[in-house]
Amino acid sequence: MTAQNSKASIIDGKAHAAKLKASIAAEAARLKAEHGLVPGLATILVGNDPASEVYVRNKNKTAESLGFKSVHHHLPADVSEAELLALVKALNADPSVHGILVQMPLPKHIREEAVLDTLDPAKDVDALTPYNAGLLLSGRAHLVSCTPMGVMMLLKETIGSIAGMEALVIGRSLLFGKPAAQLLLAANATVTMAHSRTKDLAEVCRRADILVAAIGKPEFVRGDWVKPGATVIDVGINRVDAGDGKSKLVGDVAYGEAAERAAHITPVPGGVGAMTIICLMRNTLIAAAALAGLPPLSL
Amino acid sequence: MTAQNSKASIIDGKAHAAKLKASIAAEAARLKAEHGLVPGLATILVGNDPASEVYVRNKNKTAESLGFKSVHHHLPADVSEAELLALVKALNADPSVHGILVQMPLPKHIREEAVLDTLDPAKDVDALTPYNAGLLLSGRAHLVSCTPMGVMMLLKETIGSIAGMEALVIGRSLLFGKPAAQLLLAANATVTMAHSRTKDLAEVCRRADILVAAIGKPEFVRGDWVKPGATVIDVGINRVDAGDGKSKLVGDVAYGEAAERAAHITPVPGGVGAMTIICLMRNTLIAAAALAGLPPLSL
C-alpha cells in the first residue's frame, strides 16, 4: 500500500487491453490453424442513436482487426419486435455466428426481456440472458459481462489476490454492478452493494479497500470518500462542459482528489473503458471454442 | 428501535407461517373452484439420508394438507444419473405436476448441474436452476428460493420498509445467501455479503441494521457483534450436545446474548425454519397458476 498523501499509481487500461488483445489474436490464430475455426460476431443496432452507432462500429472494427468474421445488422427505429426476434433466431441458427450482440437500449416498443429470452445463451457475448446471469450467480459462469470482467482483470494484474478485502460496488445494473459484485465475491472479497438509496455513501466508501463506481454521475465520488491506500476503479464515462463550447470526458470519481489518497486508480478515459471491447472479443472467442466443442480457453 | 439493553422482541416464524398457510389454502381453494386447478408437487429423494427423508416427508404432508396433489419418488442411492434425469424429464412433461423438488445433496456420482440443467425452470420450486437464478439477478424474479423468501416476509412484517438500511448476509450459498442478498438489494437495502474469508467479521456485523446469519456454525455470531437495535435473522439450524446424551437445536447466533442488544430476533427453532416449507407451497401454487396461464397471484 502507498502511504497517505502520496500520488496513486495509475492503472493503465489501454496497456492491459493491448496485452489482452495480443493474446486473443494469438489464440484466434491457433484455433484457425488447428481447427479451421473463425470466430463470428454479429451485431444488431436498432435506430440511429449516434453514440450507439459509434460503439457498434468500434466493436465490428475490433473484431475484424482480430481476423474474426464480423456482420452488422442495422434495423430502422420502427422495426417490429417480431422482426427483431426473427433476426435473433436466424443468427442463433447460423453456424458461422458465435456471438450475438444486440446493442441496448432498444426503442420503447420492443421488450428487452423478449429479446433476451430469445437470444441463445451460448452466443450471448454480453452475458445478459437470464441463463448466463444465473450461471454467474451459481458459480458456473461461462460468458461474463464484459466491463465487470475487464475490471477483474485490472484488479488481478494490479493487486493480485483480493481475498478478504472490503470491496464496494456503487450502482446495481445488470450490465455492470450486479455481475461485478458476484465476480468480486467469487474472488473472496467481502462485497457491499450500494446505490442511490444508500444512506451516508461517503462513510460506506471509506470502508472500501476496493472502490468501484458505476453510477453515471460526473465526479460524484469525492476524494475524502476514498480510504487511504484503496484501489479506485472508475467505470463512469460522462461528457461534461469544458468551457469555450468544448466538452470533455470525466468519470464518476473526482480523479484529482481521489488520486491523492488512493494507492491505485483508473483514469477516464483510458481506464476501464479500454478493456470492455477487448473482453467482448474474448467472449466471442470463448463462445466459438465452446460451440465447436473445444476445451475451455485460458485467456 | 428498541433502546440498548432492552430485550429484543421475538419474531414468531411459526405464527407468520400459519398466517401464510391460511392465505395459500384460501387461494388454492379459489383456483380449484374457479379453474379446476389442483397444484401438484413432485418430490424426488435419492438414497436414505434420515434428515432428508424427514424434510421430504414434511413437504409432501404439508402439500396434502393444503389439498395439493403430492407425489413422491424415492430412488436408491446407486441410481444412475441417466435414470434420475429421465424421471425429471417425465415430471417436466406431466401436466398434473407444477412443482418438482429434487432433494439436495445428491450422491457424488450424480452431477447436480446436470439435474438443474434438465429441470424445467417453470416447475423449479426451489429456484435453483440457472434460469431462475438469472431472473432474480435481472430483477425479474418468478420463483424465488424458499428460505430467502421467508426471511423477506418476516422482515417486511416486522420492520416494514428496509430501504437504505445496512443489511449483512453471512454465507454465500446458492440456496440461501446469494438469493437473500439479491432480495435485500431489490428492497433497496445497502447489502454486504460476508463469508469465511471475511476479515474482522465482528466489526462487519456491528455495521448491520439487519444481520442475517447462514453459516452452519452453532452460536458463532456473538452478542457483542450485534449493533444495538438491529434485527437479527438466524438461518442456522445446528444440532448440538445438550448433555445427558441429549441434543438440542441452536442457530448460528448466540441467541441469549444477541437478544440483549437486538431490537428483533428470530429464535431457533420456530423462526426462519417455519417459513421455508410454506414458501415451497407458495412457489408450487405460483408455478401452477403461471403454467395454467392465470394472472400472477398476490401472496
Q: Is the pLDDT of residue A5 over 90?
A: no
Query: Could you give the count of Cα atoms lying within 13 Å of B210 in the half-sphere of its Cβ?
Result: 28
Instruction: Considering the candidates B21, B123, B124, B126, report the single residue annotated as catalytic.
Output: B126
How confident is the prediction for chain A on average, in pLDDT?
96
Closest partner residue to B197 (CB to CB) among A163, A192, A197 is A163
Q: Are residues B113 and B164 in the same domain?
A: no
- Residues on chain B touching A227 (C-beta within 8 angstroms): none
Task: Give B242's DSSP letter.
Answer: E
- Nearest residue of B to residue A139, measured between CA atoms: B174
Instruction: Considering the candidates A21, A103, A178, A209, report the single residue annotated as catalytic.
Output: A103
User: CB under 8 Å to A192, separation ≥6 — which residues?
Assistant: A166, A167, A168, A169, A204, A207, A208, B190, B191, B192, B193
Tell me the pLDDT band of B4, cut-offs 50, 70 and 90: very low
Q: Is the pLDDT of residue B70 over 90?
A: yes
Q: Are residues B96 and B167 in the same domain?
A: no
- Residues on chain A touching B164 (C-beta within 8 angstroms): 197-199
What are φ and ψ of residue B223, in 5° steps?
-60, -40
Give the burial class of A67: count Cβ atoms within 10 A of its Cβ; 0-12 exposed, 13-18 middle, 19 or more buried.
middle
Q: Is the pLDDT of residue B148 over 60?
A: yes
Residue A149 included in any domain: yes
Number of domains into which chain A is organized = 2
User: Annotated catalytic, B120?
Assistant: no
User: CB under 8 Å to B204, separation ≥6 — which residues?
Assistant: A190, B168, B192, B194, B198
pLDDT value of position A7: 82
CA B171 – CA B213 distance, rounded (Å): 7
Tell me the pLDDT band of B2, cut-offs 50, 70 and 90: very low
User: Annotated catalytic, A182?
Assistant: no
Residue B112 included in any domain: yes
User: Annotated catalytic, B59?
Assistant: yes
Q: Is the pLDDT of residue B1 over 80?
A: no
pLDDT one-digit tens code per residue, B204-217: 999 999 999 999 99
Range of the domain at A166: 145-272
CA A144 – CA A182 distance, rounded (Å): 10
Q: Which residue has the cell 468480486?
A: A184
> Which among B190, B198, B199, B209 is the top mutation candidate for probing chain A, defined by the most A β-carbons within 10 Å of its own β-carbon?
B190
Q: Are residues A107 and A158 in the same domain?
A: no
CATH of the domain at A82: 3.40.50.10860
pLDDT value of position B6: 53
Please check whether residue A76 touches B, CB under 8 A.
no
Please check whether residue A138 touches B, CB under 8 A.
yes
CB contact under 8 A, A164 and B198: yes
Residue A42 included in any domain: yes
Region B83-89: what's the mean pLDDT? Answer: 98
Tell me the pLDDT band of A228, cut-offs 50, 70 and 90: very high
pLDDT > 70 fraction of chain B, expressed in percent and rounded: 98
Tell me the pLDDT band of A3, cut-offs 50, 70 and 90: very low
Q: Are residues A102 and A156 in the same domain?
A: no
pLDDT value of position A1: 42
Give the residue from B122, B137, B159 where a domain finishes.
B122
- Number of CB atoms found within 10 A of residue A36's CB: 8
pLDDT value of position A6: 53
Closest partner residue to A178 (CB to CB) among B113, B137, B190 is B137
Give the burial class of A2: count Cβ atoms within 10 A of its Cβ; 0-12 exposed, 13-18 middle, 19 or more buried.
middle
Q: Is A172 annotated as a binding residue?
A: yes
CATH of the domain at A193: 3.40.50.720
Residue B134 included in any domain: no
Residue A7 included in any domain: no
pLDDT one-digit tens code per residue, A55-67: 999 999 999 999 9
Please check whether residue B108 touches A, CB under 8 A.
no
Residue A139 included in any domain: no
Q: Are residues A106 and A199 in the same domain?
A: no
CB contact under 8 A, A130 and B135: yes
Region A112-121: what's the mean pLDDT? Answer: 97
Instruction: Considering the candidates B59, B123, B178, B227, report the single residue annotated as catalytic.
Output: B59
pLDDT > 90 fraction of chain B, expressed in percent and rounded: 96
pLDDT value of position A299: 83
Q: Residue A210 belongs to what H/E stretch?
A: strand A210-213
Tell me the pLDDT band of B298, cut-offs 50, 70 and 90: confident
pLDDT value of position A4: 46
What are φ and ψ of residue B123, in 5° steps?
-115, 10
Q: What is the dihedral of CA A259, A262, A268, A271, to 10 degrees?
A: 140
Q: Are residues A253 and A159 in the same domain?
A: yes
pLDDT one-digit tens code per residue, A126-151: 999 999 999 999 999 999 999 999 99
Q: Are residues A181 and A82 in the same domain?
A: no
Residue A57 included in any domain: yes
CA-CA distances (angstroms) from residue A160 to A139, A182, B67? 20, 18, 56
| pTM, to two decimals | 0.96
Tell me the pLDDT band of B7, cut-offs 50, 70 and 90: confident
CB pairs under 8 A between A and B: 106
Region A39-48: what's the mean pLDDT? Answer: 97
User: CB under 8 Å to A188, separation ≥6 — which residues?
Assistant: A161, A162, A163, A164, B195, B197
CB contact under 8 A, A134 and B134: yes
- Residues on chain B touching A181 (C-beta within 8 angstroms): 193
CB contact under 8 A, B134 and A132: yes
Closest partner residue to B132 (CB to CB) among A113, A134, A166 is A134
pLDDT value of position A2: 42
Q: Which of residues 111-130 of B touch A (CB under 8 A)?
A: 113, 116, 129-130
Give the residue from B122, B137, B164 where a domain finishes.
B122
How confident is the prediction for chain B on average, in pLDDT?
96
Please check whether residue A185 touches B, CB under 8 A.
yes
Tell me the pLDDT band of B299, cut-offs 50, 70 and 90: confident
pLDDT one-digit tens code per residue, B92-132: 999 999 999 999 999 999 999 999 999 999 999 999 999 99
Q: Are residues A265 and A171 in the same domain?
A: yes
Residue A168 included in any domain: yes
CA-CA distances (angstroms) from residue B120 to A266, B88, B99? 43, 8, 9
